[in-house]
Amino acid sequence: MTAAAPAAGQAERLRDEMLHLLDRGLKTAPAGTSAAEDLAAEARWWEVERLPDLAASVRRAFAARRLLLAAPDRRTWRDSLSYIGDADPADLTVSEHEYERSDIALRDDHPLAAPYPWAAGRDVGLTVRYTGSGMAAITAWYLALAKLTTDVTVVTNTLYYETETLFELCPAAHVRVEPRADRDGFLRRLRTASGPVVAFLDSCQPFGDAAMVREVLARGDEPGPLAVVWDNACAPIAADPCPGGWTGVPLVLLRSHHKLDELGLELATLGSAAVATPPGMDEPRRAHAEGLRDLLPRVLSVAGGHATAAALRTMDRYGLPDPALTARANAATLAANRAGGRALRAALDGARGCLVQEYEHGCFVNVRLTGLRPRLGNPALDLVIRRAAADAAAEGLAVWRSGSFGFHYTALSGWAVASHDVESLGHGAHTVLRVCFGGHDDDVAAAVARLVARHVRELAPAAGTPA
* CATH number of domain containing 401: 3.90.1150.10
User: In Å, what is the CA distance from 457 to each residue of 349, 367, 369, 460?
Assistant: 10, 11, 10, 5
Q: Is the dihedral of CA 60, 61, 62, 68 positive or negative?
A: positive
Tell me which DSSP letter residue 388 carries. H
Block mean pLDDT (10 aa), the chain, length 467: 57 96 96 96 93 88 97 74 55 58 73 94 94 97 96 95 93 94 95 93 96 91 84 98 95 98 97 97 97 95 87 93 97 98 97 92 94 71 94 95 94 83 69 95 97 90 45
- pLDDT at residue number 5: 42
- pLDDT at residue number 466: 40
Q: How many CA atoms are closer than 13 Å to the CA of 223, on its beta-carbon side?
A: 10
- pLDDT at residue number 41: 98
Do residue 286 and residue 329 come from a single domain? Answer: no
Burial of 241 (0-12, 13-18, 19+ CB in 10 A): buried
Do residue 273 and residue 333 come from a single domain? Answer: no
Query: Which residues have CB under 8 Å from 216's CB, separation 6+?
Result: 187, 190, 199, 201, 224, 225, 228, 249
Residue 100 falls inside a structural domain: no
Residue 103 falls inside a structural domain: no
Residue 464 falls inside a structural domain: no
- Pairing state between β 125-131 and 152-156: unpaired
Residue 362 falls inside a structural domain: yes
- pLDDT at residue number 82: 57
Give SS3 for 17.
helix
Where is the domain boundary, 318, 352, 383? 318
With CA atoms as reference, report the closest residue to 285 among 196, 174, 219, 201. 196
Do residue 268 and residue 364 come from a single domain? Answer: no
Tell me which DSSP letter residue 117 carries. G
Residue 104 falls inside a structural domain: no
Residue 110 falls inside a structural domain: no
Residue 199 falls inside a structural domain: yes
Q: How many CA atoms are closer than 13 Å to the CA of 359, on its beta-carbon side?
A: 25
Q: Is 248:282 a contact under the CB 8 Å cutoff?
A: yes
Do residue 299 and residue 356 come from a single domain? Answer: no
Distance from chain centroid for Cα 136? 13
Give SS3 for 188.
helix
Looking up residue 298, the CATH number of its domain turns out to be 3.40.640.10
Do residue 196 and residue 313 come from a single domain? Answer: yes
Do residue 286 and residue 371 come from a single domain? Answer: no
String of DSSP letters for 265-300: S--S--EEEEEEE-S---HHHHHHHHHHHHHHHHHH
Do residue 129 and residue 77 come from a single domain? Answer: no
Query: Which residues have CB under 8 Å from 268's CB, separation 6+?
Result: 257, 258, 262, 310, 311, 312, 314, 315
Q: Note if the bond before 115 is cis, omega within 30 degrees.
A: no
437's torsion region: left (phi>0), alpha (psi -120 to 50) or beta?
A: beta
Do residue 219 and residue 276 come from a single domain? Answer: yes
Backbone phi, then psi, for 164, in 5-degree steps?
-60, -40
Return the ∠ at Cα 366 (arms to 361 and 369), rounded to 5°.
Answer: 160
Do residue 302 and residue 335 come from a single domain? Answer: no
- pLDDT at residue number 1: 39
Q: Is 446:335 a contact under the CB 8 Å cutoff?
A: no
Do residue 155 and residue 278 come from a single domain? Answer: yes
The whole domain housing 77 covers: 8-81
Do residue 202 and residue 279 come from a single domain? Answer: yes
Backbone phi, then psi, for 80, in 5-degree steps?
-65, -20
Where is the domain boundary, 285, 318, 351? 318
Where is the domain boundary, 22, 54, 81? 81
Do residue 158 and residue 73 come from a single domain? Answer: no
The domain tally of the chain equals 3
With CA atoms as reference, report the closest residue to 332 among 76, 47, 14. 14
Backbone phi, then psi, for 203, in 5-degree steps?
-70, -15
Dist CA 448 CA 454 (whole Å): 10
pTM of the prediction? 0.92
Residue 86 falls inside a structural domain: no
